Structure 1
Amino acid sequence: MGKIWLVWLLLLVNREPLHWQAKSFTGKVVAIKDGDTFEVLHQGKATVIRLAHIDCPERSQPYGKQAKQFAAAICFGKEVRVVASNQKDRYKRLIAEVYVNDTINVNKELVKAGWAWHFKQYSNDSSYYRLEQMARKNKAGLWQDKNASPPWLWRKPKKK
């Protein structure tokens, strides 16, 4: 009886809480809705993915088309690995990081190329902050425009 108790205790102690475990799966990118929202086909079902840690310009916003084109060039039609935190946003999109060939982090590539902001309101990952600062310094992508407006401000209704 003591051995069974010990095994049970070890399993309980070494198990991470479920909310800490990331959901990881592979699938094919079948749609790029905008720079930070994709559809990934996994086991015959399309899952809408919202890229974690970043915010790209909206489609109707300056640089929105470029962000979408950049994202498409990296991963459209390709097999990717999706690493999700098991959280969804208010639109029920799965929040995740997306990897091509298990080496290219699409989220970070968008920031590095200057097509996305580090979304500090929802991320405390300092690596994204550093990538954004480097892109700003190098005037990459939208950082060529000193008046580039972050999407969270662009989305706010204009007050009359």
Structure 2
Amino acid sequence: MKKTFLICLFLFFVFTGVAQKYIEGRVVRVADGDTFTIVDKYKKKIRVRFFGIDCPEIGQDYAHTAKSFTSARTLDKTVKIEVKSKDRYGRVVGVVWLDRSTDLNLLLLNVGLAWDYPSYSKSREYHRAEAQARARKVNIWSQQSPIAPWDYRKANNNKKKK
């Protein structure tokens, strides 16, 4: 009976995603504010996309600032990624931890260099951080009408199709 319970509990954690998977690696390349590449302990290169946020796209205002912010905190440093999923491009999607208590995803929201991405995350903390940055009018929120990266991508994809 006890063995059956433990097996059921294990399967519950596996299938509900409660059992978190973490990966660690040294950041070797930063593509933009919310995407970088790590090399793990097995010398494997892994592309990582931040979970629950979206930084300005290359070509948008503050894209370079977001990339520089991420680079300054991660390049040539070891980070820990709390894996949430993989995206359609094969990138690991996760929460990026600089240390045990610094969530880089949240930090980008706090300084106004990212949007909360409610289509993918329902984090109240992320939503609140974006709202506070908007209220302070910092970085992207200092603009009159900032364009969300997903709208920017959609508009550019429509231009390419014409």
- Tell me if both proteins adopt one fold, taking TM over 0.5 as the criterion: yes
Pairing partner for 1:106 from 96, 104, 116: 104
Q: Bigger radius of gyration, 1 or 2? A: 1
Rounded to whole Å, the distance in 2 between the matches of 1:158 and 1:149 is 16
Q: TM-score, normalised by structure 2?
A: 0.89
Which residues in structure 2 correspond to 1:1-160 (within 5 Å)? 6-15=1-10, 16-19=12-15, 20=17, 21-42=19-40, 43-85=42-84, 87-156=85-154, 157-158=157-158
Structure 1 portions without partners, runs of 5+: 1-5
Larger relative strand fraction: 1
Q: Which amino acid aligns with 2:141?
A: W
CA contact (8 A) 1:80 1:102 kept: no
CA contact (8 A) 1:118 1:128 kept: yes
Structure 2 portions without partners, runs of 5+: none
Seq. identity, %: 33
* 1:17 Cα deviation from its structure 2 partner: 3.6
Rounded to whole Å, the distance in 2 between the matches of 1:60 and 1:7 is 58
Q: TM-score, normalised by structure 1?
A: 0.90
Aligned-residue CA RMSD in angstroms? 1.4
Q: Secondary structure at the match of 1:97?
A: strand
Q: Secondary structure at the match of 2:119?
A: helix
